[in-house]
Amino acid sequence: MNMSVFARSTVGIAAAAAMGVATIVSATTASAQLAITASSAYCADTTYTVTFPAADAAAMAAASGQNDLVMGATGPGPIYWWSPTVTYVPGQDVTFQWTPSKSVYAGQSAVGAWSLHVEEAHVVTTPSAPLAVNVVQTAPAGSSCTPSAGGTGSANSIPVIGGLLSTLSAQK
């Protein structure tokens, strides 16, 4: 269900008024992009690191006037989950830990399409930096649920780069 910006703002204002504690923010980061630890498969019972770049976190913090951020995840079902609050430290990336199977209620499955995003904690706003991740129960043949130690990016980019760097190093 897609809601217009006006409709979302109206819902947010009503929620904030009812709670009496939230701040309303309309500015979001246009260039924000999350990165997830590279893996050849994203499995339900594995923990992954999700990173929000420092420049994007700074822009989001400046727009809201606060440094507390959360990562939200929307999954199959629908499932809505928020991480514990992480405080942005100027100049540093913000990292979140996400285990799909720990993002669901008992009896629900974490398998399926997920959308990860970042929001200011305690603020009614539009989420930034959506990232699509498909979660499987077990890794398909030839794949691994174990995150790469090589960094963040798509599931296919780091193994290729890592292999290339290993080949180049061996040729010295």
pLDDT averaged per 10 residues in sequence order, the chain, 172 residues: 38 37 33 82 94 93 89 91 95 96 92 93 76 93 82 38 34 40
Give the Cα separation of 131 and 37 in Å (integer): 12
Look up residue 76 and give its amino acid: P
* Helix (H) or strand (E) run with residue 170 in it: helix 157-170
Domain count, the chain: 1
- Return the pLDDT at 150: 56
Give the DSSP per-residue string, 86-127.
Answer: EE--TTS-EEEEE-GGGGS-TT----EEEEEEEEETTEE---
Tell me the whole-structure pTM to 2 decimals: 0.67
The predicted-structure confidence for 72-112, as pLDDT tens digits, reads as follows 999 998 899 999 999 999 999 999 999 999 999 988 999 99
- Contacts for 169 with CB less than 8 Å, ≥ 6 apart: none
- Return the pLDDT at 128: 76
Determine, yes or no, domain membership for 6: no
Determine, yes or no, domain membership for 76: yes
Determine, yes or no, domain membership for 11: no
Determine, yes or no, domain membership for 35: yes
Q: For the CA atoms of 13, 16, 17, 23, what is the dihedral angle to 10 degrees?
A: -90
Determine, yes or no, domain membership for 123: yes
Domain with 38 in it: what CATH number? Answer: 2.60.40
Determine, yes or no, domain membership for 20: no
Residue span of the structural domain in which 97 resides: 28-156
Determine, yes or no, domain membership for 70: yes
Contact between 56 and 29 under an 8 Å Cβ cutoff? The reply is yes
- Return the pLDDT at 98: 95
- Return the pLDDT at 32: 61
Determine, yes or no, domain membership for 149: yes
Give the Cα separation of 164 and 162 in Å (integer): 5
